[in-house]
Structure 1
Amino acid sequence: MLKADRPILGMDIGGTSIKAGVLINGKLLDIRTISTPSLESQDIILETIATFIGEYLHHDFFAIGIGIPGLIDTDNGIVLNLENIPSFRKVHLRDFLQNRFGKPVYINNDANCFALGEYKFGAAKVYNHVVGVTLGTGLGAGIIVNGHLYCGFNCAAGEWCSAPYLDQDFEYYCSSKFFITKYGVKPKTLFKKATEGDLKALEAFREYGFHLGELIKNILYVLAPQAIVLGGSIRKAYPFFKESMIGNIATFKYPSISSNLKILISDLDETAIHGAVALVDEYAIPVNSI
C-alpha cells in the first residue's frame, strides 16, 4: 500500500524512449512517450527531460521518481551510465532536476523499480521477500527484502545478467539473445510459431525454460525469496517454458524452499512508470512534512 496521498510523477528513461505518467488517487494517468535524443549531448538530453517534466507541472506532483537501465549512485543522485546513450556518464541528474523544479527526485535502476512496482502495485504485494526478473532484450533483476528494496552499492545488487553461466553468462541464455543467437529468430516470432504448434519453436522455449530454471536456483541459493515475479516481453511465452523451468527448479537442493516458491507473471500495465512512482513512495519523506 502506498503511503503517499499526493500526486507523484513517474518516469522511465531508456535509450529509445522516455515515458512518464502521474499517479493521482492511486491511478496512473496522463501517460505520454517521447523519443530519446540518445545521440545528442548530455546538455540536450537533460533539457529534453526537463521540458518533458514541465508538461506535467499542472498536476502539482510533490516528487519525481525515475527508473534508468544502468548503475546509479543513489546517495548522490548521479547516473553513472545509461545503456545506449553514450553521453550519459556521471550525470548529476538529481541535482539538475531538483534545482530546476524544487521537488525531491529519486533515481534507481529500472529493474529495481520493476521489483518495487510489483511489490507496491502488482502480483507480489502479499509477500515480504521478492525478486523481480525482467526477461527481454536483456536480463534484469530487483530485490525486495523484508518489504524494502535492496539495491547494494551503486544499484548493482541483483546483476545476475553478468554472472558466469556455462560458456557465457545468464543474460546470454535468459534474454532474447538466446533465441537470436542459437535459433536466429526473435522470441516474438518464435512465440507466434509456438502457438501454431511448431516443434522447433516449442523446443526453443523448453530449452530456454531449463536455463531460466538454473537462474532461479541461483537466486534461491542466495536469497530464498517467497516469490519471483517474471516481467519483460518474453514472459508472454510462459506457457511454453513453464514446464521445463519448474522441472529444473524441482532439482533444487532444499525442497522446503523451492516447493514453497511462488512464480508470478506480471500483469501490471505500465510497469516501468509504476516502479518509478513506487520508488518515491519507498524513499520520500512523509507527505505531511513536505
Structure 2
Amino acid sequence: MDGKRVIGVDLGGTKILTGIIDRDGGVARRREHPTPVGSQEELLAGLDGSVEELLGDDIAALGFGIPSPVDQRTGRALQAVNIPLRADIDFRSRMAGRFGLPVGIENDANAATYAEFHFGAGREARSMVMLTLGTGCGGGAVVDGHLFRGWAEFGHMVIVYDGLPCQGTCTGRGHLEPYVTGVAATKLAQEAFGPAVDAHRLVRLASEGDEVARDILDGIGRHLGAGIGSLVNIFNPELVVIGGGFAAAGDFVLDPAREIVRREALAHAGDDLRIVRAELGTAAGLIGAGLVAFDALD
C-alpha cells in the first residue's frame, strides 16, 4: 500500500463527519460538526471549513458521501434529502476548483456499502447487497467486486401495492421504507405501548420476553425479508449486510427476514446466502467517502 491519504466527508442531515483516511481504511483526526441547513451557501461554507480543518501537504484527494442520488457524469446531487444542496450546482467541480484536488462523490449509502465490502462484513465476498435501516432505508450493492453506481434506492422498491404512504417527501405508497425503519418501529411501538416507547425501547421489551414487542419486530422482519428476496433475485449476492441504527434489533428482525428470503428467493440465488449485521458502525460512511476519494485519485 502507498502512503497517500485522503479526506473523507460523510455529509448528513444533522452532522458532517470528516476524517483522514488511508488505503487500509484507517481513520485519523476524525471530526464532527453540525450541518448548516439554512441555505446552500451556508452548507457549502460549512463543508469548506470542515475540509480546511484537515488539509495538509499529504492530502491527495477528497471524497464526499451525500444523502442524494448522484449523477456521476455531471457531478450533481439530483435529489438531496434533508440538506439544501440543489441540482443546479456541479458539486464535484465546485469542490475540485475550491481545493485544487481530485474529488469523488457518491450517495452516502453506496459509500457505506463500499466500506463494508472492503473492510467490514463483506471483505471476503465478491458480491453483496447492503441495506441501512435508520430514520430511512438506504442501500447499495457490489457486483463482482465493483460498486454498483446506479441509484440503488432500495428503500423505495414497492413491496405492497397501494400500501402505507412512504416517509419524508416521497409521495409513493407501499415502499419498503415505511415498513422496516426505526421510524416505522417507533410508530408501531407507540400504537401498542403508548408514546413513551420508541424503537430502542421496543427492542429492549422484546429482549425481556414481551410477546407483543416480539410480534411487532417479527412483522417488520417479514417485510424486510420480502425486500431482501427481491434484491437477491436481482443481484444474486453472496451476502446481505444490514446496517444502520435499527440493525440493533438483531435476530428479532433478521430471523423472520431469513425465513421469508428462503421462501421468496430463487433456489440457486438463496441456497448459500448469508444475512448478517454490518461491522463498521457509524464509521462506514466516512471510510466509504475515503474510498471514493481514492477512486478519483486512481
Provide TM-score, normalisation by structure 2. Answer: 0.88
The DSSP-based 3-state class of the residue aligned with 2:59 is coil
User: Quick check: 2:132–2:242 contact (8 Å CA) kept in 1?
Assistant: yes
The AA in structure 2 aligned to 1:172 is P
Matching of residue 186 in structure 1 with residue 192 in structure 2 = no
Matching of residue 196 in structure 1 with residue 202 in structure 2 = no
Correspondence list, 1:208-223, <5 A: 208-223=220-235
The DSSP-based 3-state class of the residue aligned with 1:114 is helix
Residues 159-194 of structure 1: CA deviation (Å, up to 9, x unaligned): 221222221211111212322333324321211222
How far, CA to CA, are the matches of 2:68 and 2:205 in structure 1? 33
The AA in structure 2 aligned to 1:164 is V
How far, CA to CA, are the matches of 1:204 and 1:36 in structure 2? 34
- Identity, in percent, stands at 29
How far, CA to CA, are the matches of 1:183 and 1:34 in structure 2? 32
The offset of 1:127, in angstroms, is 1.1
Identify the residue that residue 278 of structure 1 maps to in structure 2.
291
* 185-194 or 107-116, which deviates more: 185-194
How far, CA to CA, are the matches of 1:62 and 1:246 in structure 2? 43
Identify the residue that residue 102 of structure 1 maps to in structure 2.
100
User: Quick check: 2:233–2:265 contact (8 Å CA) kept in 1?
Assistant: no
The offset of 1:251, in angstroms, is 0.9
Q: Number of residues paired by the alignment?
A: 278
The offset of 1:253, in angstroms, is 5.0
Correspondence list, 1:69-80, <5 A: 69-80=67-78
Residues 209-253 of structure 1: CA deviation (Å, up to 9, x unaligned): 111110111001111111111110111111212221111112135
Tell me, which stretches of 5 or more residues in structure 1 are unaligned? Answer: none
User: Quick check: 2:233–2:269 contact (8 Å CA) kept in 1?
Assistant: no
The AA in structure 2 aligned to 1:28 is V
- In structure 2, relative to structure 1, the CA distance for the partners of 1:117 and 1:4 (3 Å cut) is farther
Match of 1:137 among 131, 135, 138: 135
The offset of 1:25, in angstroms, is 6.4
Matching of residue 233 in structure 1 with residue 227 in structure 2 = no
Identify the residue that residue 144 of structure 2 maps to in structure 1.
146
Correspondence list, 1:1-290, <5 A: 5-24=3-22, 26=24, 27-38=26-37, 40-58=38-56, 60-86=58-84, 88-152=86-150, 156=151, 158-166=152-160, 167=163, 168-184=174-190, 185-252=197-264, 254-269=266-281, 270-281=283-294, 283-286=295-298
Tell me, which stretches of 5 or more residues in structure 2 are unaligned? Answer: 164-173, 191-196
User: Quick check: 1:80–1:91 contact (8 Å CA) kept in 2?
Assistant: no
User: Quick check: 1:209–1:243 contact (8 Å CA) kept in 2?
Assistant: yes
Identify the residue that residue 167 of structure 2 maps to in structure 1.
none
User: Quick check: 1:171–1:177 contact (8 Å CA) kept in 2?
Assistant: no
The AA in structure 1 aligned to 2:211 is L
The offset of 1:34, in angstroms, is 0.4
CA RMSD in angstroms comes to 1.7
User: Quick check: 2:12–2:35 contact (8 Å CA) kept in 1?
Assistant: yes
The offset of 1:81, in angstroms, is 3.0
User: Quick check: 2:189–2:199 contact (8 Å CA) kept in 1?
Assistant: no
The AA in structure 2 aligned to 1:109 is N
How far, CA to CA, are the matches of 1:284 and 1:203 in structure 2? 46
Provide TM-score, normalisation by structure 1. Answer: 0.90
The DSSP-based 3-state class of the residue aligned with 1:57 is coil
